[in-house]
Structure 1
Amino acid sequence: MRGRLTLLVAAVGVLVMVAFLVPLAVLVRTVAADRATARATADVQRLVAVVGTAGPETVRLTVDQFATDTGREVSVYLADGTVLGAPAPRTPAVTLAARGQSLTVESTAGREVVVAVQGRPEGTGVIRTVVRPAELSAGVTRAWSVLALLGALLVVVGLVVADRLAGTLVRPISALSAVSHRLANAELDARVEPAGPAELREVAGALNHLAARIQVLLREEREQVADLSHRLRTPLTVLRLEAESLRDPDDATRLTAAVDGLERAVTGVIRQARWRSTAAGGNCDAAEVVGERVTFWSVLAEDTGRTVTLDLAPGPLPVRLNGDELAAAVDALLGNVFAHTPDGTPFTVRLAAEADEVTLTVADEGPGLPPEPPRRGVSRAGSTGLGLDIAERAAGAGGGRLELSSGPGGGARVVLRLAAAPA
């Protein structure tokens, strides 16, 4: 944009300079020619008194001396046909001047100046001189060079001023763009300093107002989520009490575990809603989080006859992901194992550090992945795809990726790769 504005001003400046300098250059040439003609006429007028009163010999000597002093060739035509001074044939202008009329005409040799002289006994005499083209254009080239230099200087000054003015437009627009990108990256405290023309200041104010409004809406959303959490605690507590009051210990344990899972899922959703705008980024110890979640799920694994193999690298293993988000991802992956494999299916959880990333692998010996992994919100074989979606989002937030494959002996193999954080 800055370059285009500068180019536009340059084009306009050149057009204005051409429209101004071309007529001025023509005027300079005309003035120079008129000045040379006036000078030649004044020189010739000095001879009028001598030509009108003196004898032929005196006139000849005076004209020769005049030509020597001024370097201008002058011819004097007497009425009897005598030509004194520089020899030259009679031209139509001389013939016309012999009738008593002085004039200036253009000729192939230059500009011809003829002056009629009255008072001689034999009749009207004529004084003639020619202003050469070099004399007519004397100083014109230098004047044109000065005008061209002045025009170029004015265009350069215009470009500098245009670049400065364009900068006052481009800088506020760049600031607006930068703040917009920061807001898109969830930096809701980003604000732009209003600058530039009134229209851009108005846009900056509107963008700041939009950012403030988004903050207000998110704060209201978090408050509503907090209210929802309080409302859900009561029915969850009732379910827990009902589960604990069952007479069959196995049923009580199973139902209590289900209530725990429901409470954990609700808590995770609430926390995720609360932390979406404030808990982006952050680090945690993957070894600690994974170990804690596997320990939690080991109780349910024991109840369902599953063998859990935990291969946990010694910590700490810091990753670029919030601890609660990593815990939600681990719960989602382990929950898929329990949801989509028969009871008694063993599974393995392995956490390892590889170069600049930490990998979490969850592998089972179940029926394996479907031909097309489920998408979020699409039910297939009892799956909504929410678990893998949560894990994939966590992987993206942690600077990594989620990989799905089949194990060597069958079953599903899910690898969650996270970027390692500085210790």
Structure 2
Amino acid sequence: MRRWLALLVAATTSLVLIALLVPMALLIRAVAENGAMSRATAAAESVAVAVGTPDLGLAVEQVSRPVTVFLPDGRTVGDRAARSDAVRLAATGRSVTAEADGGREVLVSAQSPGGTAVIRVFVPDAELMRGVREAWLALALLGIGLVALGIVLADRLALAVTRPVDGLARVSHRLAGGDLTARAEPGGPPEVRSVALALNHLAGRIDELLAAERESVADLSHRLRTPLTGLRLDAESLRDPEEAARVQARVDALERAVSAVITEARRRSAGRGSCDAAAVVRERVRFWSVLAEDQGREVSISVPDGPLPVAVGVEELAACVDALLGNVFAHTPEGASMSVRLQPRPQGALLVVEDAGPGFDAAALERGASGGGSTGLGLDIARRTAESSGGGLAVSRSAEGGARVDVTFSSP
């Protein structure tokens, strides 16, 4: 926008200056020519006074320019010059001005005792254009200066408009990235200030709606936990052990699905946060190690000693680690070993979870797909958590033939 405004002002200013300076340049040239011709005419008239007197030669010598006097008897006084048609026309008693090689000639007729004499004063082109080129150069420099000044003023004006617009764009990108604290600074023209105020109002409204959504999610959590607990108690009261186990498994699956939905809703509502991945992973592995010890599983962990910040909230990262470790316990036999490694990467971190179980293929990444009768949401939760930070998730075979899940997180 700044470039287009500068070009527009440059074009407009150039047209105005051309319309003004070209006639002025022509006027300067005409004034210079008229001045030179007037001086030549005055010199010719001063010589004409001496025609027919003995002082004619002295009068010609006193004129500081080429002067020729054509006498009626055919003789000439002063500089030599050809008797042109203009001289013969002036001999009829008329004063004329004619073009000549290298300039102009002023012809003034004067009466003498023997007839009409013609005084010719030659005006060279250099005298006709004296001072004109300098004046034209001054006008050209003035025009260029005015165009440059117009461009600078247009650029300052455009900057006053584009700077607030650029600020609005940056705030919009921050809001789109999840930073709901971003607000625009009203400035610039009234229309731009109005847009900034509207954008701030929209950001505040979004924040209010997300707060209401968080409250709704919390209320949903309480509402669903109670009937799930009732179903679990009903399942435990069944007399048929097989039927009780089947219903209990379905209740567990339903509870995991509800937990996943609530966790996902909370993650979207809470926005993007950050935490120390090393502390979270270390704490969650310590939590699951109790169950691993009961099942005779060997657990190895490798976590950096210092902090490793990632662009994921504490609750979201904990849910991601729980989902990955929960999959190991759910889909591998008791006694199968597992390992958890967290290592720094350029601008982020890499979490690797491996086990010695049967493994699974890439189809497990599809939402709701599972080979073990579960909801299949565990890996989907981990994938969404990684992608929310700008990372990703990959599934492959471990060195022991089991599953390997690589989860990358970006730094805040």
* Greater displacement, 281-290 / 254-263: 254-263
Q: 1:90 aligns to what SS in structure 2? A: coil
Q: 1:141 aligns to what SS in structure 2? A: helix
* Greater displacement, 314-323 / 6-15: 314-323
Gaps of 5+ in 1: none
Asked if the contact 1:400/1:417 (under 8 Å) is kept, the reply is yes
Asked if the contact 1:293/1:330 (under 8 Å) is kept, the reply is no
CA distance, structure 2, for counterparts of residue 316 and residue 240 of structure 1: 42
Offset of residue 205 of structure 1: 3.0
Partner of 1:350: 339
Q: Deviations over 1:243-278 (max 9, x none)?
A: 554578999899778757755653454354235343
Asked if the contact 2:256/2:375 (under 8 Å) is kept, the reply is no
Match of 1:60 among 35, 57, 69: 57
CA distance, structure 2, for counterparts of residue 315 and residue 258 of structure 1: 39
Q: CA 1:93 to 1:42, structure 2 compared with 1: closer, same or farther past 3 Å?
A: same
Query: What TM-score comes out, normalization by structure 1 length?
Result: 0.82
Output aligned runs, 1:234-383, within 5 Å. 234-243=226-235, 245=237, 263=255, 266-267=258-259, 269-278=261-270, 280-284=272-276, 285=279, 286-295=281-290, 298=292, 307-313=296-302, 318-319=307-308, 320=310, 321-337=312-328, 340=331, 344=333, 346-355=335-344, 357=349, 359-366=351-358, 368-370=359-361, 372-377=363-368
CA distance, structure 1, for counterparts of residue 284 and residue 90 of structure 2: 118
Amino acid at match of 2:57: R
CA distance, structure 2, for counterparts of residue 106 and residue 263 of structure 1: 110
Output aligned runs, 1:127-166, within 5 Å. 127-166=119-158
Q: 1:347 aligns to what SS in structure 2? A: coil
Does 1:104 pair with 2:97? Answer: yes
Does 1:208 pair with 2:205? Answer: no
Q: CA 1:393 to 1:179, structure 2 compared with 1: closer, same or farther past 3 Å?
A: same
Gaps of 5+ in 2: none
**Alignment identity in percent?**
49
Amino acid at match of 1:90: R
Does 1:6 pair with 2:14? Answer: no
Report the number of matched residues. Answer: 404
Q: CA 1:395 to 1:161, structure 2 compared with 1: closer, same or farther past 3 Å?
A: same
CA distance, structure 1, for counterparts of residue 220 and residue 379 of structure 2: 25
Asked if the contact 1:360/1:415 (under 8 Å) is kept, the reply is yes
Query: What TM-score comes out, normalization by structure 2 length?
Result: 0.84
Asked if the contact 1:169/1:196 (under 8 Å) is kept, the reply is yes
Q: Deviations over 1:80-125 (max 9, x none)?
A: 323222232222111111111111111223111111223x332222
CA distance, structure 2, for counterparts of residue 207 and residue 278 of structure 1: 21
Q: CA 1:264 to 1:160, structure 2 compared with 1: closer, same or farther past 3 Å?
A: same
Partner of 2:36: 36
Offset of residue 292 of structure 1: 1.4
* Greater displacement, 133-142 / 409-418: 409-418
Asked if the contact 2:260/2:381 (under 8 Å) is kept, the reply is no
Partner of 1:45: 45
* Greater displacement, 22-31 / 411-420: 411-420
Does 1:395 pair with 2:391? Answer: no
Asked if the contact 2:46/2:59 (under 8 Å) is kept, the reply is no
Match of 2:108 among 109, 115, 128: 115
> For the aligned residues, what is the CA RMSD?
3.3
CA distance, structure 2, for counterparts of residue 226 and residue 49 of structure 1: 118
Offset of residue 147 of structure 1: 1.1
Q: CA 1:258 to 1:218, structure 2 compared with 1: closer, same or farther past 3 Å?
A: same
Q: 2:114 aligns to what SS in structure 1? A: coil
CA distance, structure 2, for counterparts of residue 398 and residue 307 of structure 1: 35
Q: Deviations over 1:123-146 (max 9, x none)?
A: 222211111111111111211121
CA distance, structure 1, for counterparts of residue 380 and residue 138 of structure 2: 74
Does 1:222 pair with 2:222? Answer: no
Match of 2:72 among 76, 79, 96: 79
Q: 1:187 aligns to what SS in structure 2? A: coil
Q: CA 1:32 to 1:418, structure 2 compared with 1: closer, same or farther past 3 Å?
A: closer
